[in-house]
Structure 1
Amino acid sequence: MEPLQLLLLSGALSLLSAVQAEGPKLIPARSWQLLGDWNIVRWAGNMPIPEKRKAHPLPPFMFAINKLKKLEFRMNIMKPIGCIQFKLPLDEHSEPGLFFTWWRHKIYISLLPGKKHAIASFKDKVDNILHQMMMLMGRTLDEDAEAVKVFVDFVNSTGLKRTDMVHPNHVGACKLPPKS
């Protein structure tokens, strides 16, 4: 996985304040609600990622509390030497659903009703260009038509198009080590 994909994944963890017009009420997430294993069900964005990289398999990821008592995003990524674990600590803001990366990027994460799916979003200007990234994440890879519909509506509300969405492959991706 290239650095752009790392930016995609960390950035994908941010942007949600824009949607919630119609449809189910999204619930701003707190750290303790995010703990555990997740999968990227869909993602969308306008980050400069080559088309062939967008199709690369995406592994599951997890949120855990690290030694510094901070929420941490963990995902194995493929490098020429094999799978390595990428870790991104997140500072939880007093505003529910808002997290900051160490780069000070804002990431919004909201749970869908039922708390088995969430939407993470990121929006920031880089070199005067607005970049946005969002992902629908689920506790499993099972398709949930209502969750996908909410995500499609969210993507459309940000100015991106449904054609900007990616349904990632998961076969062949680096897996997280089993819990001990």
Structure 2
Amino acid sequence: MNSKKILLLAGDYVEDYEIMVPFQALTMLGFEVHAVCPEKKLGDIVLTAIHDFEGAQTYSEKPGHNFVLTYDFDSVKSEDYVGLVIPGGRAPEYLRLNQRVLEIVREFDQAKKPIAAVCHGPQILAASGILSGHQVSAYPACHPEITLAGGKYADIAVDGVQVSEHLVTAPAWPAHPAWLAAFIKLLGVKISLPQ
């Protein structure tokens, strides 16, 4: 692995677990994770939201933590990174309107670099036009967007993962163990426990 840098696309009201857990886990593995947001710089914050499943017809939302960005969005060059992480929450809804965000996703896709997207993160994949022929999971409400973008929606358990070539997707944060394990496997990370 020439680079040990991962790009993480963030925005206000990103889901708290879906940014915090991957950021911390990948950092723990030795990756330098550049968390960025359009129109924000290193040291700026994004607000997070905690989504939970409490018996309603959809998830509930509560205020989360402030997350400090670790890099300037305007300085991102896709060739510097080995992988891309796209957390869910409400951020993907507006991030997919940013043309540079879509270009970045297309650049990773064209290079066949691993891309991990969870929950509403696949909204950005759909808007980028890279889903044709891929089977993709997401929060169930994103099913129509995946289908309209030419992908096949994978209806899997909330703690499951769907891998389609270099795309790793999952329905929501309960899938972190499976989703992160599949992503780091594509990155070439091998973890062995002592005997």
More strand by share: 1
More helix by share: 2
Per the TM superposition, whether the score is higher than 0.5 is no
TM-score w.r.t. structure 1 length? 0.32
